[in-house]
């Protein structure tokens, strides 16, 4: 069974731009969560989707948004990028609500 | 307040020795789950072990075991017979099932296995 796939793996953007990251969960998994990882703040929860509905949301500004499609694939979007948005963005899928998370390799975003 | 506390930012352990990574948590939710993840330098988070708050026995998965002390709110990860490939960041995490049900992570412990 293929694991969680995140694209792109690496990207560089400039301040003010916007970015869309994609996540394809493990086949059969209906829950997708997103995390931001930085050296200073560690792993911070962004949001979680289950069957196309947002179940949970972390404490991030409205510039961070996400969605989930009917095939469980998920995207997250960050608008008006700031230097502080530079981070590793990790996507994780779960077979069920409240299950353990299986992570992708992440998308490393650098904002210049 | 910190929900998950990992007090060891870094550890050095000799190969083949056992190692204990500390994790304490804070919750008033009676239903919760505790997780440990490993993150090698490649960046991918690898699920290691899970312990439910109602589980009577400590969870074990191969060389990994979770020393669950509920009254002390402690969920330490024990790795037996450490290997060079165990060098990585290790994260303790918790999901409060009756609350908002999202998984939150500790700051992590960087483990170095010495040959």
pLDDT, tens digit (0-9, with 9 covering 90-100), for A27-57 = 999 999 999 999 888 899 999 999 899 988 9
Give the CA distances from residue A35 to residues A98, B9, B17, B56, B105, in Å, rounded to whole numbers and listed in that order.
Answer: 16, 21, 33, 31, 10
Is A108–B33 a contact, with Cβ atoms under 8 angstroms apart?
A: no
Q: Cβ A103–B105 below 8 Å, yes or no?
A: no
Cβ contacts of B74 within 8 Å, gap of 6 or more: B22, B23, B24, B25, B67, B68
Query: What confidence score (pLDDT) does residue A2 get?
Result: 75
Question: Across the interface, do B102 and A97 touch by the CB < 8 Å criterion?
Answer: no
Question: Best of A31, A90, A100 to disrupt the B interface by mutation (most B CBs within 10 Å)?
Answer: A100
**Residues 28..47 of B with a Cβ closer than 8 Å to A: which?**
33, 35, 37, 42-47
Which band of pLDDT confidence, cut at 50, 70 and 90, is reported for residue B4? very high
Predicted local distance difference test score (pLDDT) of residue A15: 97
A60 in B contact zone (CB under 8 Å): no
Quick one: residue B54, left, alpha or beta (phi over 0 = left, psi -120 to 50 = alpha)? alpha
């Amino acid at each position: 069974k293929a694991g969680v796939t995140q694209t792109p793996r690496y990207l560089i953007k400039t301040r003010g731009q916007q970015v869309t990251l994609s996540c394809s969960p493990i086949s059969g998994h209906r829950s997708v969560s997103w995390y931001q990882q930085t050296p200073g703040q560690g792993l911070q929860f962004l949001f979680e989707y289950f069957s196309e509905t947002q179940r949970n949301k972390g404490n991030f500004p409205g510039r961070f948004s996400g969605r989930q499609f009917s095939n469980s694939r998920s995207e997250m979007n960050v608008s008006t990028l700031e230097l502080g948005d530079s981070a590793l963005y990790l996507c994780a899928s779960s077979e069920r609500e409240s299950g353990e998370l299986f992570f992708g390799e992440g998308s490393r975003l650098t904002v210049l | 307040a910190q929900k998950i506390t990992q007090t060891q930012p870094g550890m050095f352990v000799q190969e083949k020795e056992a190692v204990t990574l500390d994790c304490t948590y804070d919750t008033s939710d009676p239903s919760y789950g505790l997780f440990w993840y490993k993150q090698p330098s490649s960046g991918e988070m690898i699920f290691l072990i899970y312990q439910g708050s109602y589980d009577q026995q400590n969870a074990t998965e191969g060389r990994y075991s979770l020393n669950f002390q509920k009254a002390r709110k402690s969920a330490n990860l024990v790795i037996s017979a450490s290997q060079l490939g165990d060098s990585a960041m290790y994260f303790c995490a918790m999901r409060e099932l009756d609350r908002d049900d999202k998984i939150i992570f500790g700051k992590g412990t960087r483990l170095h296995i010495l040959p």
